[in-house]
Amino acid sequence: MSDTPMPPVPPVILGDEPGSFARGVLAERHPAIIRRVRDAFPYGPDVRRALDALLTSCVEGVIEPLPADAHDRDRWRAWGLDGYAGRSWYEVPWLWSESYFYRLLLETVGYFRPGPWQGLDPFRPFKLAELDAPETDEELAALDGLEGRPEPERAQALLHGSLWGNRADLGFRLSDAGARDRAAVPGLVADDSETLWALLAPPQAADGTLCLVADNAGRELIPDLLLAAHLLAHGRAGRVVLHVKPYPYYVSDATTADVVDALRRLTAAPGTAGGYGRRLWAAMADGTLTVRAHPFAAAPLPYERMPDDLRAEFVGAALTIVKGDLNYRRLVGDRLWPPTTPFADVTAHFPGPVVALRTLKSDVITGLSAGTEAALTAAEGRSWRTGGTHALIQTRK
């Protein structure tokens, strides 16, 4: 914790401000996602009608409750559903309305219901296309060039692979045609990687558990897994617990099925990548690498409100790495903090040392120096916050 007193806590972000990034996600990105899902599957007339109704509802309607027999209705009620049902999507916390949108989309396509579409990930075609893309082959082939380099250099390269892999977010790309082509800016807006490596220094780190809170599948999850494999192989972690989503979420968020797809992709790859894949497969088989899919991973709430059982897991970890933009919003609170608010202050609630690896794709930001903030704003206005071209590594010990 820093010594300076905390400034007043700003209100949580809502989607009600015209022209705001949050409003654009609700009013434009969500309908675009529904259309893509509708086109990607030969759903029958009932599901199509229900998707059309959801599209209308999420743009101009109100939040509908879950069906009375939904398996997780009580959980969503505990997460605030009763207070928000009947209200406009735009006037409740943005984090909440986004999360609930994905839950209702799964309801609409019958993901949780006994029937032909049960358990079928509506985002799977997009995830598989990315996993099969030639860019993935190129990224895996690049591992061969790292062989023989000193370990710290390989570790840093894999860390950056995992960090910049966070640009591969399909929700972002499906609704922003230019996202793939915009160049990443090499400089990080914050870089605590030295502290991160100190926390993962062998030999002490070799006995510790690393929690890796994953974000997207495919081209983000693969470099996350490569990083995990490297840390295990070099005494920088004794055990890795990979936290994924319990069901499809935010289009490309990783589930257990996506972990399996990524591992199969790796094990089938030639050269160095295949070796990583086989070691990771063996690590899952012997329990050195485990996967967790806690319901709270898809909760519409900040991590400050995590349940005790999940808190106990993070308490036991030597370090938790939290990937991605959404997890960052949940970690620091989905609020318009003054950008110079210390990261350590807003993550003081987190049980144990924590590192955020994130490309910037929403307005939330903390932990910048005044000079960095001023330079970014002078050069780009507000777009540096949301364009996915900047990244950060922030640590709280």
Which residues contact ligand F6P by CB under 6 A?
25, 29, 98, 166, 169, 171-172, 215-216, 250, 324-326, 329, 361-362
Q: How many residues does the chain have?
A: 397
Strand-pair category, 391-396 with 354-359: antiparallel
- We find the least distance from the C-beta atom of residue 288 to ligand F6P, in angstroms, to be 27
Q: Where are the beta strands (DSSP E) in the chain?
A: 190-191, 209-213, 239-243, 289-292, 319-323, 354-359, 391-396
Whichever of 11 and 287 has its CB closer to ligand F6P, that residue is 11
Q: What does the H/E/C string look like for 211-262?
A: EEECCECCCCHHHHHHHHHHHHHCCCCCEEEEECECCCCCCCECEHHHHHHH
Whole-number minimum distance, CB 76 to ligand F6P, in Å?
19
Minimum CB–partner distance for residue 54 and ligand F6P (Å)? 16
Least distance CB 235 / ligand F6P (angstroms): 30
Choose between 127 and 361: whose C-beta lies nearer to ligand F6P.
361
Is the CB of 261 or the CB of 283 nearer to ligand F6P? Answer: 261
Which residues, other chains included, contact 277 with Cβ-Cβ below 8 Å and sequence gap of 6+?
Answer: 263, 264, 265, 266, 267, 268, 269
Nearest residue (CB) to ligand F6P, 108 versus 216: 216
- Our CB check for ligand F6P shows the closer of 99 and 193 to be 99
Q: Least distance from C-beta 75 to ligand F6P, angstroms?
A: 21
Residue closer to ligand F6P by CB (options 172, 276) is: 172
**In angstroms, what is the minimal distance from the CB of 152 to ligand F6P?**
27
Q: Starting at the edge strand that comes first in sequence, how are the strands of the sheet with 289-292 ordered?
A: 190-191, 391-396, 354-359, 319-323, 209-213, 239-243, 289-292
